[in-house]
Amino acid sequence: MSSAAVAGLVWWSGDGPVRAVETPELRAAPEPLAALGTAAATEEGARSEAGPEIRIGDFERPEEVPEYEILDERRNRRDGARGAWLLIDTRAHSEEEYVLITRHLKVRYANLDAVSIEFIDLRQALRYNGGALIFNTTAGVGYIGYFHGPPNNKGYYVKATD
């Protein structure tokens, strides 16, 4: 760098010390949306406060349910949500029949946040025939692993094997 350039930089800086970093100007933090009282902020706040208390789906027993037996039941609690795992023996094999059993169990286990179900038929040597997930509350949705919300508004998901 030439001496003329250095002299120009010294003159431009005002003959004082050159600071590489200056302290930024501080200003007050903005108000939270909830404090502004906007409709969106109030609605979002109401939803988040309700949290685990929001119930998902209906809790009406179906009129007819295929025969089934609960072979094993295990209960658990995680992150404030209560859940259960059920092993069900049934001769039913169609997804429609599994839906009826799942709806019946949804009412029976309405006090829990989530229930995981595995369907087998003991006549077929413990063959896995399908499964279901019941999510009764928003806490149950997270318990099962749906972190972006429930997959539907029925409160259950059923899948039969082919």
Q: Which amino acid is at 53?
A: E
At 18 the pLDDT is 58
pTM score over 0.75: no
Note the pLDDT tens digit of each residue in 113-159. 999 999 999 988 767 889 999 999 988 888 888 888 888 888 888 98
Beta partners for 130?
A: 119, 160
Note the pLDDT tens digit of each residue in 67-111. 999 999 999 998 889 999 999 999 988 999 999 999 999 999 999
At 40 the pLDDT is 47
At 36 the pLDDT is 54
Can you read off the two tokens belonging to residue 96?
A: 């429609």
At 108 the pLDDT is 94
Between 84 and 29, the more confident residue is 84
Cα–Cα separations (whole angstroms), residue 102 to 16, 111, 136: 79, 15, 12
Judge whether residue 3 has pLDDT over 90. Answer: no
Share of the chain above pLDDT 90, in %: 35
